[in-house]
C-alpha cells in the first residue's frame, strides 16, 4: 500500500492478514491502528515518506503487549530508529526469522536483544548502520549459527585474526567490508598499520591468510560481496583483501557453490592466473562485479576469458 489511508475498523479480512507492505504512508497513527487489527501478522515491510517515519516506539510497545505473536519478519528503513526502541521491539518478537533495518541506530542494546533469537534468525541486514562496530560484526559471525544471509558494514581485519572462528556456516549470502588498513575496532582509537604489519610484511601476509581462512569456512556461500569502505568516498577508502593467488585467493577453493562474486570499487591488480584459477575452482560462478586490474587492455582480456566460460563481468 502506497500513499494510502487505512480501514479503521475490524473486519474479517484484517484478522486474516499475514503480510503488510507499506510505502510512503500518509499517516503513522492510521498505520498503527490498522496494524492493531491484524493479529495474525507475520511479515511487515515499511518504507517511510519524507514526513512520516516508522512509528517504532508505538509498535515496540504493542509487541511487548503480545499484539502480534506470530510476527517473524521485519523489513523497515531504519532512519531515526533508536537503539533502545529497536531493542524493545526485538524483545517483543517471539521468534525472529528476518530483520532488515538498514541505517538504524542498531548498537549494543539491539545486539543483546537479537541474541534471544539466535536459534531462529536467518536474515540480518544492517547496511548503513553506523553504530554497528567491527567487534559486533565479529561477534555475530561467531555466534549466529542459523544465519543464511548477512549484510553488514566494516570489520577490521585484526578483529577477525584475534577473534574466534566463525560459526555462521549456513551463510548463503554475505555482504561485508573487510578493512585491511585499520587495526583497532574502536573508531575513536583507529590505528593504521604499524611497520611490523605493513603490506608485504610476513605478519601482514599471515594475517591476510587467516582472513581468507575464515571466508573459506563458509562453504555454502552462493553470493559473496566484498564491499569497499566507506561505500561513498573514494578519497578515504580503506584497503580490502588483495585478491591475488600470492596473497591467499587459492584458500577460497572451498567455495564451490559460489554463483555471484563482487568486489566492486576495490583496488585490485589481478592477472590471467587468477582468471584461470577462478574458472577451474568456481565452476558454479555466473557473475562477477569488480575491476580486476587498473590496466584497461588486460582487464578486457580477462573479461573476455571469463565470458567464454559463461561468466558475466560487470565493473
Tell me: the pLDDT tens digits for 50-107? 777 788 888 899 999 999 999 999 999 877 789 999 999 999 999 999 999 999 999 9
- Residue 252 to residues 89, 141, 244, 272, 305, Cα–Cα distance (Å): 38, 18, 11, 17, 20
For the chain, state the CA radius of gyration. Answer: 22
The C-alpha cell of 3 is what? 500513499
Helices (H) and strands (E) in the chain, counts: 9, 11
The C-alpha cell of 234 is what? 573514494
Given its phi and psi angles, is residue 310 left (phi above 0), alpha (psi -120 to 50 degrees) or beta?
A: left
pLDDT in tens, 217-270: 999 999 999 998 876 665 566 789 999 999 999 999 999 999 999 999 999 999
Length of the chain as a residue count: 315
**H, E, C per residue of 111-133:** HHHHHHHCCCCCEEECCCCCCCC
User: Domain 133-315 carries which CATH code?
Assistant: 3.80.10
The C-alpha cell of 138 is what? 565479529
For residue 31, the model assigns a pLDDT of 80
Q: What is the dihedral of CA 187, 188, 194, 196, to 10 degrees?
A: -70
Q: Element (H or E) spanning 243, and its range?
A: none
pLDDT in tens, 203-215: 999 999 999 999 9
The structural domains of the chain, with segments of one domain joined by +, span 1-125, 133-315
Amino acid at each position: 500500500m502506497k500513499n494510502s489511508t487505512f480501514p479503521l475498523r475490524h473486519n474479517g479480512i484484517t484478522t486474516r492478514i499475514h503480510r503488510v507492505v507499506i510505502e510512503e504512508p500518509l499517516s503513522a497513527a492510521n498505520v498503527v491502528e490498522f496494524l492493531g487489527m491484524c493479529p495474525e501478522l507475520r511479515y511487515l515491510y515499511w518504507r517511510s515518506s519524507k514526513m512520516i517515519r516508522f512509528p517504532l516506539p508505538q509498535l515496540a510497545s504493542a509487541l511487548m503487549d503480545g499484539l502480534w505473536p506470530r510476527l517473524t519478519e521485519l523489513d523497515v528503513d531504519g532512519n531515526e530508529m533508536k537503539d533502545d526502541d529497536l531493542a524493545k521491539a526485538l524483545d517483543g518478537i517471539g521468534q525472529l526469522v528476518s530483520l532488515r533495518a538498514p541505517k538504524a541506530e542498531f548498537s549494543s542494546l539491539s545486539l543483546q536483544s537479537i541474541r534471544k533469537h539466535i536459534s531462529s534468525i536467518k536474515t540480518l541486514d544492517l547496511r548503513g548502520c553506523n553504530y554497528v562496530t567491527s567487534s559486533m560484526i565479529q561477534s555475530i559471525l561467531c555466534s549466529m549459527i542459523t544465519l543464511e544471509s548477512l549484510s553488514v558494514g566494516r570489520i577490521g581485519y585484526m578483529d577477525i585474526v584475534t577473534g574466534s572462528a566463525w560459526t555462521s556456516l549456513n551463510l548463503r549470502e554475505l555482504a561485508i567490508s573487510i578493512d585491511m588498513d585499520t587495526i583497532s575496532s574502536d573508531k575513536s582509537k583507529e590505528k593504521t598499520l604499524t611497520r611490523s604489519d605493513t603490506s608485504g610484511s610476513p605478519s601482514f601476509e599471515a594475517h591476510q591468510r587467516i582472513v581468507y581462512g575464515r571466508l573459506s569456512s563458509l562453504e555454502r556461500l552462493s553470493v559473496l560481496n566484498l564491499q569497499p569502505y566507506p561505500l561513498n568516498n573514494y578519497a578515504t577508502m580503506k584497503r580490502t583483501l588483495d585478491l591475488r593467488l600470492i596473497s591467499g585467493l587459492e584458500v577460497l577453493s572451498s567455495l564451490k557453490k559460489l554463483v555471484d562474486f563482487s568486489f566492486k570499487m576495490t583496488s585490485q591488480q589481478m592477472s590471467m592466473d587468477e582468471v584461470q584459477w577462478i574458472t577451474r575452482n568456481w565452476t558454479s560462478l555466473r557473475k562477477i562485479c569488480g575491476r580486476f586490474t587498473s590496466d584497461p587492455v588486460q582487464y578486457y582480456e580477462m573479461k573476455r576469458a571469463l565470458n567464454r566460460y559463461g561468466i558475466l563481468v560487470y565493473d
